[in-house]
Amino acid sequence: MPRYTVHVRGEWLAVPCQNSTNTVRWLGKEAVRRYMKNKPDNGGFDSVEEVKFYVRRCKGLGLLDHDDTLEVALEDNEFVEVVIEGDVMSPDFIPSQPEGVYLYSKYREPEQYIYLDGNSLTTKDLVNLGKGLYKIKLTPEAEAKVRASREVIESIVNERRVVYGITTGFGKFARTVIPNSKLQELQVNLVRSHSAGVGKPLIPERSRMLLALRINVLAKGYSGISLETLHQVIEAFNASCLPYIPEQGTVGASGDLAPLSHLALGLIGEGKMWSPKSGWADAKYVLQAHGLKPITLKPKEGLALINGTQMITSLGCEAVERASAIARQADIVAALTLEVLKGTTRAFDTDIHALRPHRGQIEVAFRFRSLLDSDHHPSEIAESHRFCDRVQDAYTLRCCPQVHGVVNDTIAFVKDIITTEINSATDNPMVFDERKETISGGNFHGEYPAKALDYLAIGVHELAAISERRIERLCNPSLSELPAFLVTEGGLNSGFMIAHCTAASLVSENKALCHPSSVDSLSTSAATEDHVSMGGWAARKALKVIEHVEQVLAVELLAACQGIEFLRPLRTTTPLEKVYDLVRSVVRPWMKDRFMAPDIEATHRLLVDQKASVWEVAEPYIEKYRREHIPESRPISPTAFSLASSKNTSHHHHSDSEEYDEQ
């Protein structure tokens, strides 16, 4: 007999259907009837017949025709939503889909597996797990370690030893011993009481990353979870059953207790859960729809699921990967702007940067040379001003290697800390199989990732700060030698006037967001947890800063391509023409004013879409230049910034005489 899970005004109802010819209208009425039956006041209705409603699938939010039969319109065990006409949704109503539903309706169950052992996960792996590209399996070595640590817990319980979090309460209640008959209840109570977060739920990608990272930590074998329970957690991940996890509520020590408790709450079949099949529904229904059973927590297992820095660190992985991507592309965007503003490549000479050999600075200068070298890629724009009387450029052009360079080095520093953190055991107490004992410590403290992500926000922000100044130079006719705001018939048309304002507003927001959260601490848990990291906010605002940086660079890229229109028929270098062509494949030139927001968004996607990004277009030229200009005796490490560089040969305009320094 087919069965449907129907959502009516926040209630989830299981509706069996005996007759396959029943219609969508019948299902809606039956769901409303069951809803009214459960309400003392019949839900405010006199009869089912007076209720007007429409029905939609939870997956993809497609509206259903009332006259279609259920066997045609729906699959067995499908989740649907009955929306009653005239309802005003309460602010705490959880819609059936998270933000950006169009992205999730495209979800395809992955066929590939990634093996986790707790020691070798990379930031890129975790982001890909978040995107739903892999399912998870444990390595045999990890399974053996998990089994061994669980045996230690079993012996503690059997011997009735007093051990924190296993046979005692938590935090201030650490001295309260719990009888063996209540150890299971202790763990369930822990998860329920600690599920006290607020705010919007994490989007599916971030929930998936959080769940995958927790699995990786448990796979290390120092948490004391049973292999049976860990396999159940992995099955939930592989089915993309993702608990409702509010983004606010962690102080980042003792770990990310509130978010991880919400994660565990869904796994034990309580609270809300989301899957591509169900949308948001009660966790027990979502697990059931995927053939899964709620987890029954054994001693220590609730604590094993909720103790650690995985919220800070999983969001930190996304921040590091997005920061790396936008930092690479910022060099390309800035090089295009330099061409449009008729700047010089002289400031990128190898010998200058050899005298201040920071790795990031040297690599950025190299990228500029690889994109702008007129001897290698002839540039008609560069040739047109080879003998002009200007001596040197403004800092926003000339100092890109120094400013962009330290951003690259910051990202590398933070990535190192985050990579260590995602492969660390951050529980308390730790279970040591070799010593047959548990030891209480402080690995749950989030200070490492919190400080690193505050630093990341400060570093990456500078890409937007310097980009906004370059946008100003492009739009200001007294600085650009181009039409005001990059448009003909100025006055009648405003061109890029307000696009520049948008960039300025985002840079200003970033300045407030760059105040480090990890300099704050508030004592919690009756002064047991008297110094905390505030790392959850550090991670969330680092992501917000990076998002703003991506948007500002999208505006600069759009403006630089518009600037090229006024220099035609002259052409820039081959790689930069390829970048121009990519932008023009999604945004046409700005001949007169039109709705601009879609143009900015289309350009933004070219910076964040890994399959058709600005970096993908330019990278082959950068790497070809590297191979041709770097001696074979100095190999490039694929994971480190290049210390090797080529000798610059292209010096268009700016004579050596009359050199001056702008102050």
Q: Residue 99: is its pLDDT beyond 90?
A: no
Mean pLDDT, all residues of the chain: 89
Q: Is 140 exposed, middle or buried (0-12, 13-18, 19+ CB in 10 A)?
A: exposed
Structure tokens at 638: 């694929």
* DSSP string over 105-149: TT------EEEE-SS---HHHHHHHHTT--EEEE-HHHHHHHHHH
Helix axes 310-340, 535-565, angle to 10 degrees: 20
Is 80 exceeded by the pLDDT of residue 61? no
In angstroms, the CA 246 to CA 210 distance is: 12
What confidence score (pLDDT) does residue 659 get? 38
Taking CA 193 as the corner, what is the angle to CA 188 and CA 194, rounded to the nearest 5 degrees?
100
pTM of this prediction? Answer: 0.87
Reduced to 3 states (helix: H, G, I; strand: E, B; else coil), residue 198 is: strand
State yes or no: pLDDT of 127 exceeds 50.
yes
Q: Please state the separation of Cα 242 from the chain's center in Å.
A: 16
Read off the pLDDT of residues 322-341 as tens digits, 9 standing for 90 and up: 999 999 999 999 999 999 99
DSSP state of 274: E
Query: For residue 281, is pLDDT > 50?
Result: yes
User: With 60 as the cut, is the pLDDT of residue 36 above it?
Assistant: yes
Token pair 């005298």: residue: 355
Catalytic residue among 4, 104, 164, 222: 164
Instruction: Kindly tell me if the per-residue pLDDT of 266 is higher than 90.
Output: yes
Question: Is residue 562 scored above 80 in pLDDT?
Answer: yes
Instruction: Name beta bridge partners: 8.
Output: 11, 82
Q: To which residue do tokens 């947890």 refer?
A: 529
For the ranges 86-100, 114-128, 129-143, 428-442, which has the lowest average pLDDT?
86-100
Of 381-385, 500-504, 582-586, 596-600, give the lowest mean pLDDT range. Answer: 381-385
pLDDT of residue 661: 40
Is the predicted pLDDT of residue 295 greater than 90, yes or no? yes
Proportion of the chain above pLDDT 70, given as a percent: 92
pLDDT at 329: 97
pLDDT at 314 over 60: yes
Active site residue 660: no
Tokens 């143009």 belong to residue:
599
Q: Which two tokens stand for residue 629?
A: 């200009």
Q: Is 28 within 8 Å of 40 (Cβ atoms)?
A: no
**13 phi/psi in degrees, rounded to 5:** -125, 135
pLDDT band at 636 (very low <50, low <70, confident <90, very high): very low
Banded pLDDT at 97 (limits 50, 70, 90): low
Distance CA 57, CA 5 (A): 10
Residues near 243 by beta carbon (within 8 Å), at least 6 away in sequence: 207, 211, 262, 263, 264, 265, 266, 267, 271, 272, 273, 274, 283
Other beta carbons within 10 angstroms of residue 52's beta carbon come to 9
Q: Which helix (H) or strand (E) holds 70?
A: helix 70-73
Cα–Cα nearest to 465, from 548, 393, 529, 362: 548
Report residue 88's pLDDT band, with 50, 70 and 90 as the boundaries: low
* pLDDT band at residue 100 under the 50/70/90 scheme: low
In the chain, the percentage of residues whose pLDDT exceeds 90 is 70
Residue 277 has pLDDT above 90, yes or no: no
Kindly report which listed range (17-21, 75-79, 385-389, 640-644) carries the lowest average pLDDT score: 640-644
Distance CA 540, CA 552 (A): 19
For residue range 479-493, list pLDDT tens digits in order: 999 999 999 999 999
